[in-house]
Amino acid sequence: MNRSTLSVATFNLYNLNLPGGPMYRDVDGWSSEEYAAKVAWSARMLRELAPDVLGVQELWHADALTDVLTQSGLAEEYDVLAAPATGERIVCAALVRRGLLVPGSARWIEDFPDDLRLTSSGEDPQTPQIAVGIRGFSRPVLHFEIAPREDEPATAVYVCHFKSKAPTQIWREGWYAADRDRYQAHTTALGAALSTIRRTAEAAALRVLLTAQLKGTVTPVIVLGDLNDGQHSNTLNILTEQPRYLVGDSRGGGDNALYTAQTLQEYRDTRDVYYTHVYQDLRESLDHVLVSEQFYDHSRRRRWLFDGLVIFNDHLNTKDHRSDGTADHGIVLVRFAHRPA
């Protein structure tokens, strides 16, 4: 196989589970009618997207994703990577166009790498010590490889879903219940801080994995995911290592860098209208496609040329995603053309 184009997308499915399957504290889950609407809408979006690789988040049951694929009419065109999705927890998953997947390459990463250590005694006498004891991803990261061309190295793909900005529900904790009057006024601040710490640790853990894959190699890498943070957030800065974007053909590129498709699109457009989530009328870009220098236009080692980005987000205008089957995140689709520097 020697493909001349490659398209990838990220899609938060908004708790796709079989009808009646419990989700978090919702013991009844989706009704049959709600499930039917959800599958129908997701299938329509899949037909419209038709990407070569689709990374998905918030999948509870693999059979639900199979139902979407079947209803889309594309069941014969994709391999499904969703083995851990048994209805008991949400996982990241993927659909990969037949013939692209490197056999046996799919795995779900739950534990943080051993090289991650978030402890410090402080940079100076005024700085208190810090220690973060998180040892795993809240949502396992899916890693697999694709081979779009026989004359290029296989591309490593990561599908991830980081901790949301929503404050951690500390009212569940024993220490909170034991002294509620003391902590109640600070519930939001403490919960938001814990969510931020967890998301930051997840970003650092994935960056350690990415560095092991990228540094000193020519391996192309794509990261697809609901990162729950913006383009210039600390979360994204950790993942990308903030590379310099050069204007000029084939003069730049960073061996260990990742480039946001959002920024690549901004170089091609006259107006930035990229948003994938709306909360209290605030439009944010939480869902991202990140790529290594092999997909960056101005890299000396470019193999694929950025060929455009599309955001599917009209459905974010609806108020009741449960009844109409829509998702609460926008979908990001990015295309590339094989054009080595």
Return the pLDDT at 269.
78
Return the pLDDT at 306.
95
**pTM attached to this predicted model:** 0.95
Q: Which domains does the chain have, with CATH numbers?
A: 5-104+143-164+221-338 (3.60.10.10)
Return the pLDDT at 164.
92
- What are the b/e assignments for 288-299, b being 16+ CB within 10 Å? bbbbbbbbbbbb
Output the average pLDDT for the chain: 93
Of the listed ranges 51-65, 116-130, 210-224, the least confidently predicted one is 116-130
| Amino acid making up residue 220 | P
Return the pLDDT at 49.
95
Banded pLDDT at 244 (limits 50, 70, 90): confident
Do 15 and 29 form a contact (C-beta atoms < 8 A)? no
Summarize the confidence of residues 69-85 as an average pLDDT.
97
Q: Measured on CA atoms in the order 49, 55, 60, 63, is the torsion positive or negative?
A: positive
Return the pLDDT at 316.
82
Whether pLDDT at 161 is above 70: yes
pLDDT tens digit string along 302-331? Answer: 999 999 999 998 888 887 888 899 998 999
Whether pLDDT at 250 is above 70: no
Specify the DSSP element, H or E, that contains 231: none
